[in-house]
Amino acid sequence: MSTEETYQEYYVPHSSKLPIFASLGIFLTVYGLGNMFNEMSAGSDSSFGEIVFFLGGLVMGGTLFFWFSEVIKENHSNLYSDQLNRSFVWGMSWFIFSEVMFFAAFFGALFYVRAFVVDWIGGVGERGPSDMLWQDYEPVWPMMSPPDAEKFPGPSELISPWGLPLVNTLLLVTSSFTVTFAHHGINEGNRKKLVNWLIATISLGIIFLFVQAYEYYHAYVDLGLTLASGIYGTTFFMLTGFHGAHVTLGTFMLIVMLFRSRKGHFSKTDCFGFEAAAWYWHFVDVVWLGLFVFVYVLGS
Amino acid sequence: MRYWLIDCYTPHLKIVKLGLKTKASMLFNNVIVLSLNGVSQMNNLKQLRHYLLLPMLLFCQTASADFSFWNLRKGVTEISREVYDLHMLIFYICCVIGVIVFGAMIVSMILHRKSLGVKPATFHESTKLEVAWTIIPIVILIGMAVPATSTLRDMYEPGEPDLDVEVRGYQWKWQYTYLNDDPAKEIQFISALRTPQDEIQNRAGKGEHYLLDVDNPLVVPINKRIRFLITSNDVIHSFWVPDFAVKKDAIPGFVHESWAIVEEPGVYRGQCAELCGKDHGFMPIVVHAMEQEDYDNWVLEKQEEAAKVFEIVGKSWSTDELIEKGEEVYARNCVACHQTNGQGIPPAFPSLVGQGIPVGPIAEHIDILLYGRAGTAMQAFGQQLNAAEIAAVVTYTRNAWGNNMQDSVQPKEINVMMASQ
Amino acid sequence: MNAVVEEHHDDHHDHGPAKGITRWLYTTNHKDIGTLYLWFSFAMFFVGGICALGIRAELFQPGLQIVQPELFNQLTTMHGLIMVFGAVMPAFVGLANWLVPMMIGAPDMALPRMNNYSFWILPFAFGMLISTFFMEGGAPNYGWTFYAPLSTEYAPPSVTFFIFAVHLMGISSIMGSINVIVTILNMRAPGMTLMQMPLFVWTWLITAYLLIAVMPVLAGVVTMMLMDIHFGTAFFSAAGGGDPVLFQHVFWFFGHPEVYIMILPAFGVVSAIIPTFARKKLFGYDSMVYATASIAFLSFIVWAHHMFTVGIPLAGELYFMYATMVIAVPTGVKVFNWVATMWQGSMTFETPMLFAIAFVILFTIGGFSGLMLSIVPADFQYHDTYFVVAHFHYVLVPGSIFSIMAAVYYWLPKWTGNMYDETLGKTHFWLSFIGVNVTFFPQHFIGLAGMPRRIPDYALQFADWNMISSCGAFLFGFSQLLFLFIILKCIRGGQKATERVWDGAKGLEWTIPSPAPYHTFSTPPKDMAEAHG
Ligand code: HEA
Ligand code: HEA
Ligand code: CUA
Ligand SMILES: [Cu+2]
**Residue B12 pLDDT exceeds 70:** no
Q: Quick one: pLDDT at residue B304?
A: 86
Complex ipTM value: 0.92
Please say whether the beta carbons of B50 and B35 come within 8 A.
yes
Q: Quick one: pLDDT at residue C529?
A: 65
Q: Quick one: pLDDT at residue C524?
A: 83
CB proximity C128 to A under 8 Å: yes
Q: Quick one: pLDDT at residue B264?
A: 93
Give the tens place of pLDDT for each residue, B351-383: 999 888 998 888 899 999 998 887 788 988 888
Q: Quick one: pLDDT at residue C3?
A: 37
Say whether B86 and C457 touch across the interface (CB within 8 A): no
Give the tens place of pLDDT for each residue, A139-196: 998 899 999 988 899 999 898 889 899 999 999 999 999 999 999 999 998 899 999 9
Question: Which residue is closest in CA terms to ligand 2's atom 46?
Answer: C49
Give the tens place of pLDDT for each residue, C335-385: 999 999 999 999 999 999 999 999 999 999 999 999 999 999 999 999 999
Residue B221: pLDDT band with limits 50, 70, 90: very high
Q: Quick one: pLDDT at residue B158?
A: 83
Q: How far is it, in rounded angstroms, from Cα A269 to Cα B286?
A: 75
What spacing in Å lies between the alpha carbon of C397 and ligand 2's midpoint?
A: 9
Residue C4: pLDDT band with limits 50, 70, 90: very low
Say whether A18 and C113 touch across the interface (CB within 8 A): yes
**Residue A24 pLDDT exceeds 80:** yes
Q: Quick one: pLDDT at residue B11?
A: 31
Residue A269: pLDDT band with limits 50, 70, 90: confident
Contact list, B158 vs chain A (CB under 8 Å): none
Q: How far is it, in rounded angstroms, from Cα B108 to Cα B101?
A: 11
CB proximity B209 to C under 8 Å: yes
**Residue C123 pLDDT exceeds 70:** yes
Q: Quick one: pLDDT at residue A2?
A: 43
**Residue C99 pLDDT exceeds 90:** yes
Say whether C380 and B375 touch across the interface (CB within 8 A): no
Higher pLDDT, C95 or C22: C95
Q: How far is it, in rounded angstroms, from Cα B251 to Cα B229?
A: 11
**Residue C304 pLDDT exceeds 80:** yes
* Average pLDDT, integer, range B94-114: 95
**Residue C515 pLDDT exceeds 60:** yes
CB proximity C496 to A under 8 Å: no
**Residue B27 pLDDT exceeds 50:** no
* Average pLDDT, integer, range C500-528: 87
- The three-class DSSP label of residue A8 is coil
Residue B69: pLDDT band with limits 50, 70, 90: confident
Q: Quick one: pLDDT at residue B20?
A: 36
Q: Ligand 3 — pocket residues by CB below 6 A? A: B 169, 172, 237, 272, 274-276, 280, 283
Q: How far is it, in rounded angstroms, from Cα B345 to Cα B349?
A: 5
In DSSP terms, which residues pair with C347 in a beta bridge?
A: B113
**Residue B207 pLDDT exceeds 50:** yes
**Residue A7 pLDDT exceeds 80:** no
Percent of chain B with pLDDT over 70: 84
Sheet with B218-221, side-by-side order of all strands: B218-221, B284-290, B266-271
What spacing in Å lies between the alpha carbon of B171 and ligand 3's midpoint?
A: 7
**Residue A97 pLDDT exceeds 90:** yes
* Average pLDDT, integer, range C36-44: 97
C34-532 topology per CATH: Cytochrome C Oxidase; Chain A (1.20.210)
Residue-averaged pLDDT of chain A: 91
* Average pLDDT, integer, range B49-78: 61
- The three-class DSSP label of residue C38 is helix
A89 CB-near residues (< 8 Å, 6+ apart): A272, A275
3-state SS, one letter per residue, for B173-225: EEEEEECCCCHHHCEEEEECECCCHHHHCCCCCCCCCCCCCECCCEEEECCCE
Residue-averaged pLDDT of chain C: 93
Higher pLDDT, B20 or B273: B273
Which atom of ligand 1 sits closest to the CA of residue C266?
A: 1
Q: Residue C469: which of C169, C146, C53 has the closest Cα?
A: C53
Residue B18: pLDDT band with limits 50, 70, 90: very low
Give the tens place of pLDDT for each residue, B109-134: 999 999 998 888 888 888 999 999 99
Residue B346: pLDDT band with limits 50, 70, 90: confident
Give the tens place of pLDDT for each residue, C422-444: 999 999 999 999 999 999 999 99
Least confident of C74-78, C414-418, C516-520: C516-520
**Residue C397 pLDDT exceeds 60:** yes
> In this structure, are strands B225-232 and B256-261 parallel, antiparallel, or unpaired?
antiparallel
Least confident of B7-11, C123-127, C235-239, C369-373: B7-11
Q: Quick one: pLDDT at residue B1?
A: 37
**Residue C7 pLDDT exceeds 60:** no
* Average pLDDT, integer, range C32-55: 97
Residue-averaged pLDDT of chain B: 83
* Average pLDDT, integer, range A199-217: 96
**Residue A255 pLDDT exceeds 90:** yes
DSSP state, residue A130: G
- Count CB atoms within 10 A of the CB of residue B131: 11
Q: Quick one: pLDDT at residue B67?
A: 56
Instruction: From residue B413, give the alpha-carbon distance in Å to each of B317, B333, B363, C36.
Output: 12, 21, 11, 68
* Average pLDDT, integer, range C442-458: 95
Question: Which residue is closest in CA terms to ligand 1's atom 27?
Answer: C306
- Count CB atoms within 10 A of the CB of residue B311: 9
Percent of chain A with pLDDT over 90: 69
* Average pLDDT, integer, range C141-159: 94
Q: Quick one: pLDDT at residue C532?
A: 55
**Residue B17 pLDDT exceeds 60:** no
Q: Quick one: pLDDT at residue C15?
A: 62
Q: Which domains does chain B have, with CATH numbers?
A: 2-61 (no CATH), 78-156 (1.10.287.90), 163-307 (2.60.40.420), 315-419 (1.10.760.10)
Return the ∠ at Cα B223 (arms to B218 and B226), rounded to 5°.
Answer: 50
**Residue B14 pLDDT exceeds 60:** no
Q: How far is it, in rounded angstroms, from Cα C90 to Cα C39?
A: 9
Say whether A128 and B374 touch across the interface (CB within 8 A): no
Q: Residue C528: which of C245, C192, C69, C215 has the closest Cα?
A: C192
Give the tens place of pLDDT for each residue, C463-498: 999 999 999 999 999 999 999 999 999 999 889 999
Give the tens place of pLDDT for each residue, B188-198: 899 999 998 89
Q: Ligand 2 — pocket residues by CB below 6 A? A: C 45-46, 49-50, 52-53, 55-56, 76-77, 79-80, 83-84, 87-88, 143-145, 389, 393, 396-397, 400-401, 439, 453-454, 473, 476-478, 480-481
Residues of C carrying an active site annotation: 79, 108, 144, 172-173, 256, 258, 260, 271, 305-306, 331, 334, 453
Give the tens place of pLDDT for each residue, B133-177: 999 999 999 999 999 999 999 999 888 999 999 999 999 999 999
Q: Quick one: pLDDT at residue C283?
A: 95
* Chain B residues 163-192 within an 8 A CB cutoff of chain A: 166
**Residue A83 pLDDT exceeds 90:** no
Q: Quick one: pLDDT at residue C530?
A: 64
Say whether A133 and B255 touch across the interface (CB within 8 A): yes
Contacts of A185-189 with CB under 8 Å at 24 or more apart are: A186/A266, A186/A267, A186/A268, A186/A271, A186/A274, A187/A268, A189/A267, A189/A268
Q: Quick one: pLDDT at residue C466?
A: 96
pTM: 0.92
